Amino acid sequence: DWINFTDFFNKIIDRFEMTKSGHVSFVRNIPNDALYVDIDTDKITQVLDNIISNALKYSPEGGKVTFTIDILPSELQIRVKDEGVGIPQESVNKIFDRFYRVDKARTRKLGGTGLGLAIAKEMVFAHGGDIWALSKEGQGTTVYFTLPYDPEQEDEWE
């Protein structure tokens, strides 16, 4: 479906903002303009749910979660940044593998199966996008993904 990604992303963040506990704050760097993309909204909702629920799950008291959309020449780059526990350098590329979980002892008490990001990767790839993460232990994690975007498309909506 062709949808306005700006509205779509804001609504997903709103839903998390309404239900989150008070211990984290949200910051949005999201353009005001409509950004039309052709996506499977159920699947990209799941991608964002998985990324955002991780950001909340691994955030400390008082942590900030920042949501960003950058408009690149042929894609939208979406980022979710947290100030959580972070991920060791040698593991940061493995978090998209099925059932991979960093530090079993640490994550066991937080629950989960280790499938969230593997599913997210599959769905982003099915849209022709990419997904990756950058992290510093003790400082936080940023998860990035891209979706193909044609800026010309906006003109056709005028």
Least distance to ligand ATP from the beta carbon of 42, Å? 17
CB of 15 to Mg ion, least distance (A): 17
DSSP letters of 23-41?
Answer: TEEEEEE--SS--EEE--H
Report, in Å, the least distance between residue 151 CB and ligand ATP.
30
Those residues with Cβ within 8 angstroms of residue 113's Cβ, 6 or more apart along the chain or in another chain: 99
Nearer to ligand ATP, 116 or 129 (CB): 116
Nearer to Mg ion, 86 or 116 (CB): 116
Indicate the residue whose CB is closest to Mg ion: 116
Q: Which residues bind ligand ATP (CB under 6 A)?
A: 50, 54-55, 58, 82, 84-87, 95, 100-102, 107, 112-118, 141
Dist. CA 71–CA 57, nearest whole Å: 28
In whole angstroms, what is the distance from residue 56 CA to residue 23 CA? 9
